[in-house]
Amino acid sequence: MLYILHGQDDFSLARALEEIKGQIGDQAALALGTTTLDGQQLSVDQLRTVSETVPFLAEKRLVIVNGLLERFEPQPGSRRQRRTPRVAEHQDEYKAFSDCIGRIPDSTVLVLIEGRITSGNPLFKELARKATVKAFPLLKEAELREWVRKRVADKGGSISPTAVSLLARLVGSNLWIMASEIDKLILFAPDRRIEEDDVRTLVGYTQQATVFAMVDAILDSRAELAEQLLQHLLQRGVAPAYLLYMLSRQVQMIVRARELRSRGEVKTEIQNRLGLASEFALSKTLEQASRYPLPRLKEVYHHLLETDLSIKTGKYDAELALSVLVAELCQRGKASTRERVR
């Protein structure tokens, strides 16, 4: 039996894999007969050898292969490629895998675990008609809110609609993190409904929202607000090194978002390229990319790197260095604004 589980929602994908395991038989015996392989390095002979091995103390053998189909994803411009020896070898390889998988004995259950798979994938085309295919895309908006409501209810809790919306906006489609945050919220409010204030108080992603606000304050040269936000994060136990990393990362994200949008990329493609599961993070990054000029972003990023170096070399205390950085960046921003006005 052949399964193909693919998509970016690896939380739901992992649960689907557990369901498959539960259907096969005795779990203790299955554990002895389960093999996990790296599809990026796998050869046809290795797959054949493992798949044809007789199960030990169980009716079925489970073989899990990670990333085999992704290995054959078409590259940009691949349709225009001539049939070079390398391309021909690639095509022969996927056909060999298809033939091998088609001959796997009934005693073996093969599960292919994949990320993003396109319709142009040649091995996926070959195997899709022979397999049970299940797709797990990231949940969006209404689907995500419904998932949150159901998860809370299944855990024996209740949550207000506004709290659901805020939680979905802050955490986004990473269901591993979402499930963890829901568990914390239910423990935090065991005998009552979860409200917006609970989400703001407890959910770790509110820290990210504060980082966004701090980036805005720095780029807008609002020194007092930027310093307040910095102290708020430090008082909540955020390590200076991590905070500096978050600031640098967000400035990088803004620059990359500007570049992708200038190429005409759509919102969903920008989200995939930036690797942002949170709708809140994506919307905020795009909004910042539209507001701030590239020279200002480069200036801020350059000073962030200088501060990181001064901390790592022991030149300055980490918290003091961050405070000085915020003050200097805001002052430089005001000076640049005055020069443009003149």
* 238 burial via Cβ count (<10 Å: 0-12, 13-18, 19+): middle
CATH at 145: 1.10.8.60
Which of 158, 175, 202 is the C-terminal boundary of a domain?
Answer: 202
Tally the domains of the chain: 3
More confident site: 206 or 120 = 120
Nearest by Cα to 3 from 91, 75, 69, 93 = 69
pLDDT tens by residue, 326-339: 888 888 755 554 54
CATH at 271: 1.20.272.10
User: Do 16 and 41 reside in the same domain of the chain?
Assistant: yes
User: Do 198 and 258 reside in the same domain of the chain?
Assistant: no
Which of 135, 156, 175 is the C-terminal boundary of a domain?
Answer: 135
pLDDT tens by residue, 274-317: 888 777 788 888 988 998 888 888 888 888 888 888 888 887 78
Confidence of residue 111 (pLDDT cuts 50, 70, 90): very high
User: Do 189 and 213 reside in the same domain of the chain?
Assistant: no
User: Do 62 and 154 reside in the same domain of the chain?
Assistant: no
Percent of the chain at pLDDT > 70 equals: 89
User: Do 21 and 103 reside in the same domain of the chain?
Assistant: yes
What is the largest distance, in Å, between two alpha-carbon atoms of the chain? 83
Domain that holds residue 89: 2-135
What is the secondary structure of 130-147 as a DSSP string?
TSEEEE-PPP-HHHHHHH
pLDDT tens by residue, 169-200: 777 778 888 898 999 999 999 889 999 989 88
Tell me the mean pLDDT in the region 29-46: 85
User: Do 108 and 155 reside in the same domain of the chain?
Assistant: no
Pinpoint the alpha helices (H) of the chain: 10-24, 27-32, 44-51, 85-102, 122-128, 141-154, 161-171, 175-188, 196-202, 205-219, 223-235, 240-262, 267-274, 279-291, 294-312, 318-341
Q: Label residue 49 left, alpha or beta by phi (over 0 means left) and psi (-120 to 50 means alpha).
A: alpha
CB 35 within 8 A of CB 160: no
Mean pLDDT, the chain, integer: 83
User: Do 79 and 194 reside in the same domain of the chain?
Assistant: no
User: Do 196 and 321 reside in the same domain of the chain?
Assistant: no
CATH at 76: 3.40.50.300
User: Do 276 and 215 reside in the same domain of the chain?
Assistant: yes
Tell me the mean pLDDT in the region 133-139: 90
Strand order in the sheet with 61-66: 34-38, 61-66, 108-114, 2-6, 132-135
Residue 67, amino acid:
G
d(CA 315, CA 5): 51
pLDDT tens by residue, 142-171: 999 999 999 999 999 999 999 999 888 777
Cα 265 to Cα 30, 118, 272, 293, 297, distances in angstroms: 46, 18, 11, 19, 21
The dihedral over CA atoms of 193, 196, 201, 205, expressed in degrees to the nearest 10, equals: 120
User: Do 126 and 25 reside in the same domain of the chain?
Assistant: yes
User: Do 195 and 213 reside in the same domain of the chain?
Assistant: no
Which of 135, 164, 181 is the C-terminal boundary of a domain?
Answer: 135
User: Do 316 and 240 reside in the same domain of the chain?
Assistant: yes
